[in-house]
């Protein structure tokens, strides 16, 4: 059972927009920044969003992040076939003194 809760799967057609939610608590998302990772099949995870809504160099503006209270959301616009991947949210949990992840969300581009 993951500390952060994500939907197991989401899907949308190419060109459409999709959002992925991440729910936590006052000891993790409520107190700390949220990051998002993309894991393409058979590859290592890649940092997509950090500090709730910042994009590392090279990440397209189609990817966005937001946070409100104890929840966070990843948004992807202009969906492409290459966006099919597993997406994970992560943050620091102050009570656990540990990095924590969500269980992951599989994005299918129909």
Partner 1 sequence: EVQLVESGGGLVQPGRSLRLSCAASGFTFDDYAMHWVRQAPGKGLEWVSGIDWDSDNIDYVASVKGRFTISRDNAKNSLYLQMNSLRAEDTALYYCARSQFGGVKRPFDYWGQGTLVTVSS
Which residue of 32, 61, 62, 75 would you call a contact of partner 1, by CB under 8 A?
32
Per CB under 8 A, 63 contacts partner 1: no
Output 16 or 98, the one with its CB closest to partner 1: 98
99 three-state secondary structure? strand
From residue 18, alpha-carbon distances to 9, 14, 66 in Å are: 11, 10, 14
Q: How far is the CB of 13 from partner 1 (least distance, A)?
A: 26
Q: How far is the CB of 102 from partner 1 (least distance, A)?
A: 7
Q: What are phi and psi of 43, to 5 degrees?
A: -125, 170
From residue 87, alpha-carbon distances to 11, 27, 55, 95 in Å are: 12, 22, 15, 24
Stretch of 9-17, 20-28, 68-76, 84-92 contacting partner 1, by CB under 8 A: 84-92
Per CB under 8 A, 24 contacts partner 1: no
- Give the integer Cα–Cα distance in Å for 13 and 43: 23
Stretch of 13-21, 22-30, 71-79, 91-99 contacting partner 1, by CB under 8 A: 91-99
User: Residue 85's CB: how many other CB atoms inside 10 A?
Assistant: 21
Binding site for partner 1 (CB under 8 A): 2, 32-33, 35, 37, 39, 44-47, 50, 56, 86, 88, 90, 92, 96-104
């Amino acid at each position: 059972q993951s500390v952060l809760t994500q939907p197991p799967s989401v899907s949308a057609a190419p060109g459409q927009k999709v959002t992925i939610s991440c729910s936590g608590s006052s000891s993790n998302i409520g107190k700390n920044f949220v990051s998002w990772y993309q894991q393409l099949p058979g590859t290592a995870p890649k940092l997509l969003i950090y500090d709730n809504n910042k994009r590392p160099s090279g990440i397209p503006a189609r990817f966005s992040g937001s946070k409100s209270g104890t929840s966070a959301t990843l948004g992807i616009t202009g969906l492409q076939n290459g966006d099919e991947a597993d997406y994970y949210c992560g943050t620091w949990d102050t009570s656990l003194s540990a990095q924590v992840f969500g269980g992951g969300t599989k994005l299918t581009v129909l």
